[in-house]
A = this chain, B = another copy of it.
Amino acid sequence: MAPPLSFSILVRDPGSAARVGRIETRHGAIDTPAFMPVGTQGTIKGLLPSLVAATGAQIVLGNTYHLMLRPGSALVASLGGLHGFMNWPGPILTDSGGYQAYSMSDLTTLSDEGVSFRSIVDGSMVHLSPERAIEVQNQLGADIIMALDDCPPSVDPATMSQTRLRTRAARSRSALGYDHARRLDEAGERTIRWLERCKAAHARADVQSLFGIVQGGTDLDRRSRSAAQVCGVELPGYAIGGVAVGEGFSEILNVVRHTAPLLPPEKPRYLMGVGYERDLVAAVRAGVDMFDCVLPTRNGRNAYAFTPRGAVRLRNATYAEDAGPLDPECDCMACRPDLNGWRTEAGHHFSRAYLRHLFMAREMLGPILVSLHNLRHFQRLMLDIRRAIRDNDWLAFGRRWPVAKEGLVGVGEGDLGGAGGSV
């Protein structure tokens, strides 16, 4: 039988490590570079699956941590797996649950056995081992599943400001006696041991593809070591984890530019949890193929609309009487509502004034429309990134996406390096 995932590189950018490709799965194809909307609890918040598909998304992400706690992976399996449960017929990726176990729960124990934590749903004790993380993901049935990794803070809590010590886990790590370097070494060694166990436990390799995750924080030597170890395990794809956990743009960029070339060029590369438009552009040019991020939906629910020229914060009184669309160039259902042959005669878009009204009146349709817009914004960004690679024309791209310009700077020879300012 054919492997459950194949990856073809169709076009390579002569001026950077970017490539246009296509991932084939049992549930359909994904054009890369790809952006994956996040459907934490088995739903992209507020959106019918058909509307998510209409934004151009070809793959969505589900969170193992949330789904194992509620409604439980065995129930999801009995209802057709995550595809059937949430009525998303296309490709799905699930994470391992590790990241949320560290960041969202009261961490009770972390050892080679795994991680034990209190459920945020009912307070019960839950154990997540490499074997259990894979068993749960085998039950959820996503096309791409992720290895359980030990995911320490990338920045030493001792050097973090109080406001950045947000999570309980980070606070516990800031306790006396914590040695950040030792913790990173331990995490790196454990991650590779767990990866072997995940691969051995994977019972559905005929239909699901397991990806490994490179860790190492912001230390580039550790990233090199982790990449060598993780990529030493033969897998259909590899991810860069442990970024976008509080660092700035330049730190993310350093790690990605260092790590992406260390991953096998013929396999898909996935940068977890990133990010803003400039981050995606810079990572694509470093050779990354897949992204996920909650920004479009989370910000959308908070009246924050993305546009190629920057954010529109709809609560601002500036927009109270603004008859224009969020983005005149956008073809989303908020900016150009035309669904299923049903056309508006009265208006051609939902005005900023109307969207602002919805948020002021706490109406669900506000989060819905701005989430749809933001998801389409990121899909349009990916379409234009793929076009820029195919046409070898990042200058035109930069003109269309001023907000992403920073991501075009300094990717070595042949890029827009010094010319970035004039894009």
Chain B residues with Cβ below 8 Å from A79 are 321, 323, 351, 353-354
Beta-carbon nearest neighbor of A69 in chain B: B361
Instruction: For residue A88, give the distance in angstroms from its CB to the closest CB of chain B.
Output: 7
CB distance from A257 to the nearest CB of B (A): 37
Q: Among residues 329 to 387 in chain A, which have CB atoms less than 8 Å away from a CB atom of chain B?
A: 333, 337, 339-340, 342-347, 349-351, 353-354, 357-358, 360-361, 363-365, 367-369
Contact, CB under 8 Å: A364 / B45: yes
How many chain copies does the complex carry? 2
Are B48 and A365 in contact, CB atoms less than 8 angstroms apart? yes
Q: Is chain A's interface secondary structure helix, strand, loop, or mixed overall?
A: loop
- Collect the chain B residues with CB atoms within 8 Å of residue A360's CB: 70-71
**Interchain CB contact under 8 A, A87 and B344:** yes
Known A-B contacts A54-B340, A75-B321, A80-B346; the reply to A45 vs B361 at CB < 8 A is no
Indicate whether A86 reaches chain B with its CB closer than 8 angstroms: yes
Chain A residues touching B, range:
35 or more
CA distance A49 to B342 in the complex (A): 9
In the assembled complex, the Cα of A361 lies from the Cα of B39 at a distance in Å of 12
Q: In the complex, are the beta carbons of A346 and B54 less than 8 A apart?
A: no
Q: Is B48's CB under 8 angstroms from A337's CB?
A: yes
User: Does B80 lie within 8 Å of A358, measured CB to CB?
Assistant: no
Is B50 a contact partner of A342 (Cβ separation < 8 A)?
Answer: yes
A358 touches B43 (CB 8 A): yes
Minimal beta-carbon separation of A234 from chain B (angstroms): 30
Interface residues of A in 304-348 (CB under 8 A from B): 320-321, 323, 333, 337, 339-340, 342-347
The answer to whether B48 touches A339 (Cβ under 8 A) is yes
The 8 Å CB contact of A333, one of B48, B71, B88, B321, is: B48
Give me 14 other A-B pairs in contact (C-beta within 8 A), A42-B357, A66-B361 excluded.
A42-B361, A43-B358, A45-B365, A46-B364, A48-B369, A50-B333, A50-B340, A75-B353, A79-B321, A79-B353, A85-B347, A339-B339, A364-B364, A364-B368
Can you sample 29 A-B contacts with CB below 8 Å?
A41-B361, A41-B363, A43-B363, A45-B364, A47-B365, A48-B333, A48-B337, A48-B369, A49-B337, A49-B344, A50-B337, A50-B340, A70-B357, A70-B360, A70-B361, A75-B321, A78-B321, A79-B354, A80-B346, A80-B347, A81-B346, A83-B346, A85-B351, A85-B353, A87-B337, A87-B350, A89-B346, A339-B340, A364-B364
